[in-house]
């Protein structure tokens, strides 16, 4: 069984991780909401944004990670949080907003998933989705190269397939538009100034590197991370002021239900 998520590791870069959630929420065309679902709520940083935007709403945060839910409850003790899987989500009432920030990239079969999520909305409700679209960035190609190049290759084959490259925006538009009065889709590339390649590794240890390093222990994990960092270095040169820039493309979608 995979190890649980590490909320402390994830929140080392809280400001950078929360910015896409802010940008997504800014495009949600709702003046008010009675029932809001934060799907893949993590440690509650996105849930806090929703609580501030819709203070009168019944707010539910859902995640598959007990550790993340524990951190979320500590952060927002008055909100409701529960263990749930985005792929099999069921609600006790139609939602006005399903907010899925940086979670659906881990869930397969979007052609079935997104229409089903639209079906959980009230008329006029909103599905708001943000997904990292970075599998072809050096940060992620280097993971797969490192996995294939070492003595751990057989054990990490599944890790290389934990996520698949997202299809073009038009594919998502075609999935959503039969159920929606309005569909907005856009990409944003964030360029995060970080304190060297080591900081990139620390960032990704909280997310994308997890499937690669969880099967490894001790010296083997250290060796993997050292090899990975060496492969990153040529793609992330030091910039003025000593920082490196982590380019991070993300795909955003906002759909209003018919």
Q: In the numeric block, which tokens belong to residue 150? A: 């070492």
Q: What is the pLDDT of residues 97-124, one digit of tens each?
A: 999 999 999 899 999 999 999 999 999 9
CATH number at residue 131: 3.40.50.150
Q: In the numeric block, which tokens belong to residue 236? A: 């992330």
Residue 2 lies in a domain: no
CA–CA separation, 90 and 140 (whole Å)? 32
3-state SS class at 243: coil
Predicted TM-score of the model (pTM): 0.92
Residue 62 lies in a domain: yes
| ∠ CA 126-132-133, rounded to 5° | 110
Q: What is the pLDDT of residues 31-86, one digit of tens each?
A: 999 999 999 999 999 999 999 999 999 999 999 999 989 999 999 998 999 999 99
Q: What is the pLDDT of residues 163-184, one digit of tens each?
A: 889 999 999 999 999 999 999 9
Residue 239 lies in a domain: yes
**Which of 81, 84, 119, 87 has the alpha carbon at shortest distance from 105?**
87
- Domain interval for residue 131: 7-257
Give the single-character DSSP code of 235: G
Instruction: Please check whether residue 10 is in contact with residue 42, taking contact to mean a CB–CB distance below 8 angstroms.
Output: yes
What mean pLDDT is reported for the chain? 93
Residue 176 lies in a domain: yes
Number of domains in the chain: 1
Residue 116 lies in a domain: yes
H or E element: which one contains 176? helix 169-176
Residue 130 lies in a domain: yes
Q: What is the pLDDT of residues 121-148, one digit of tens each?
A: 999 999 999 999 999 999 999 999 999 9
Residue 133 lies in a domain: yes
Residue 1 lies in a domain: no
């Amino acid at each position: 069984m995979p190890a649980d998520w590490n909320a402390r590791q994830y929140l080392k870069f809280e400001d950078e991780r929360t910015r896409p959630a802010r940008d997504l929420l800014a495009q949600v065309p709702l003046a008010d909401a009675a029932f809001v679902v934060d799907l893949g709520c993590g440690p509650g940083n996105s849930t806090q944004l929703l609580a501030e935007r819709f203070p009168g709403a019944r707010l539910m945060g859902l995640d598959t990670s007990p550790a993340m839910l524990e951190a979320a409850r500590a952060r927002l003790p008055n909100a409701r949080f529960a263990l749930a899987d985005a792929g099999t989500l069921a609600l006790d009432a139609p939602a006005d907003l399903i907010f899925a920030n940086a979670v659906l990239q881990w869930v397969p079969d979007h052609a079935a998933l997104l229409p089903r999520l639209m079906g959980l909305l009230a008329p006029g409700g909103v599905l708001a989705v943000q997904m990292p679209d970075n599998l072809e960035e050096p940060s992620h190609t280097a993971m797969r190269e490192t996995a294939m190049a070492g003595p751990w290759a057989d054990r990490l084959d599944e890790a290389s397939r934990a996520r698949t490259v997202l299809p073009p925006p038009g594919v998502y538009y075609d999935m959503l538009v039969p159920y929606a009065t309005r569909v907005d889709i856009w990409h944003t590339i964030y360029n995060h100034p970080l304190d060297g390649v080591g900081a990139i590794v620390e960032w990704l240890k909280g997310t994308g590197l997890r499937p690669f390093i969880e099967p490894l222990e001790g010296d083997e994990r250290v060796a993997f991370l050292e090899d990975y960092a060496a492969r990153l270095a040529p793609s992330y040169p030091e910039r003025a002021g000593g920082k490196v820039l982590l380019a991070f493309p993300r795909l955003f979608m906002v759909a209003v239900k018919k």
